[in-house]
Amino acid sequence: MTKYLLSFCLLFTLLSCARQGQKTYTLPQLDDVVIYQVNPRVFAEKESFNAIGLYLDSIKQLGANIIWFMPIHEIGKEKSVNSPYCVKDYKSVNSEFGTMEDLKKLITQCHDKEIGVIIDWVPNHTSWDNPWIKNTAWYTQDSIGNIISPAGTGWNDVADLNFNNQDMRLAMIDAMKYWIVEVGIDGFRCDAVDFVPADFLQQANDTLRSIPGHKLLMLAEGKREDHFDVGFDLNYAWDFMEAMRDVYLKDSCATALFSANEAEYKAIPKGKRKLRFSTNHDETQKQSPVEEFNSERGSMSAFLVSAYMPGCPMIYSSQEVGYPKAINFFRYTPVDWSANNRLRKEYERIFQIYNTNEALRKGALKTYPNQNILLFERYTDTEKVIVAINVRNVEQKMELPSDLSNKKFTNLFSGNSMTLGNTMILKPYEYLILK
């Protein structure tokens, strides 16, 4: 009897996978994750799920193994500014991007290429015409019973959810389970969770992680320390990002980045990660990294800081072609994906080095303080990689410590051998990756 029961369970599992069009896929370990953020509105004016499918090989070639899709749900119309974070239906897809079947096909394509899929989840608020709105107790209200927008945000296009209501919580978790079990995603990037109570985040994470056969990646947009206590794997390195701005834009000492890194990792449990980036959809909406960091070379210098300091690196769609202007994600913005192939190859090489050198992904950090050159070592018991980054737009010279001077290295970017003398000279925004 037991033998037949086991056979039935195996058959049921196989049939379920076949029904969903999925193949067996396993998420990478957390310290091997490289995230590519997809804004569907830079890929096509309509049917962007299909356009993204055609671009997957390029994402894979970049070195990413996780795709994070910005919100793909139907967008509300009432009071709307066409923001994807104004969700009308938690179990639907935006017809602008394609159909649910198009999305499922895309997820299968990702898994076939060993790329995981997480989607943006907006737990704090909904559109004003979301069907949930008829349950007024599910929403925050003012003193006379009017549903309100999230206080102090200026997000007038959305209605604030009331997490004191248990029915709303269960409906939210049910919708999240739907995307895992029925659609086949591998986790969530949860939006604005610093506004969401920790006990709900714990409830949701516990429930989702108890789903059999699904390993999940959970990313919190925020920097509250309790994100990790309630089940998230990653949260945002906002303090590090601000330190990077101070260094590049206000000429703060480069060692401020070491201090910010140390402070962030002191505050989180061992084994968890901070998401590191030089831009994302919010930042590029204001200005592109090429604009923010003074030039294309400045943007690459800052990107290397975000990618090679301890953390989980992320690249935003359009960054790899050096798109020079701001991108408003409330509307379609055409991007020429064939542009700037030289820059794309540079990103590819940066991630190739990252993915093939364990020290950069998992190693400890040794720092060499300097005002203008960020010099550090990532090391394991068997491997050491030296990274030197000029954070200024002028040539910089640095006296080298004795453990690095007059030593022979391999330049990992070029593959050539080189010997460091007693000093290092780097051109504006130049970097070296040595082993």
Identify whether residues 246 and 197 lie together within a single domain: yes
Backbone angles phi, psi at 126, to 5 degrees: -130, 175
Identify whether residues 115 and 141 lie together within a single domain: yes
Residues in CB range of 275: below 8 A, 6 or more apart:
35, 219, 234, 235, 236, 237, 311, 312, 314
Q: What share of the chain is helix, strand, coil (3-state, %, to 5)?
A: 40, 20, 40
Element (DSSP H or E) covering residue 290: helix 289-292
The confidence score (pLDDT) of residue 24 equals: 84
Residue 261 lies in a domain: yes
Residue 319 lies in a domain: yes
| Residue bearing tokens 């190693």 | 363
Q: What is the CA radius of gyration of the chain?
A: 23
Q: What CATH number does residue 380 fall under?
A: 2.60.40.1180
The confidence score (pLDDT) of residue 324 equals: 97
Identify whether residues 50 and 73 lie together within a single domain: yes
The confidence score (pLDDT) of residue 10 equals: 43
Could you tell me the pTM of the whole model? Answer: 0.94
Residue 6 lies in a domain: no
Identify whether residues 399 and 338 lie together within a single domain: no
In residues, how long is the chain? 435
Identify whether residues 355 and 392 lie together within a single domain: no
Buried b or exposed e, range 258-277, using 16+ CB within 10 angstroms: bebbeebbeebeeeebbbbb
Q: What CATH number does residue 67 fall under?
A: 3.20.20.80
Identify whether residues 93 and 208 lie together within a single domain: yes
Identify whether residues 276 and 407 lie together within a single domain: no
Identify whether residues 292 and 390 lie together within a single domain: no
Tell me the mean pLDDT per 10 residues along the chain, length 435.
Answer: 44 44 81 98 98 98 98 98 98 98 98 98 98 98 97 97 98 98 98 98 98 96 95 98 98 98 96 97 98 98 98 98 98 96 98 98 98 98 97 98 95 95 97 98
Q: Which residue, 434, 413, 281, is CA-closest to 351? A: 413
The confidence score (pLDDT) of residue 258 equals: 98
Alpha helix segments (H runs only) across 210-280 = 238-250, 255-266
For residue 404, what are the domain limits? 373-434
Domains in the chain, number: 2
Residue 19 lies in a domain: no
| Residue bearing tokens 């107790």 | 137
The confidence score (pLDDT) of residue 23 equals: 58
DSSP symbols for 378-418: EE-SS-EEEEEEE-SSS-EEEEPPTTTTTEEEEBTTT--EE
Identify whether residues 405 and 294 lie together within a single domain: no
| Residue bearing tokens 């299968």 | 108
Identify whether residues 379 and 239 lie together within a single domain: no
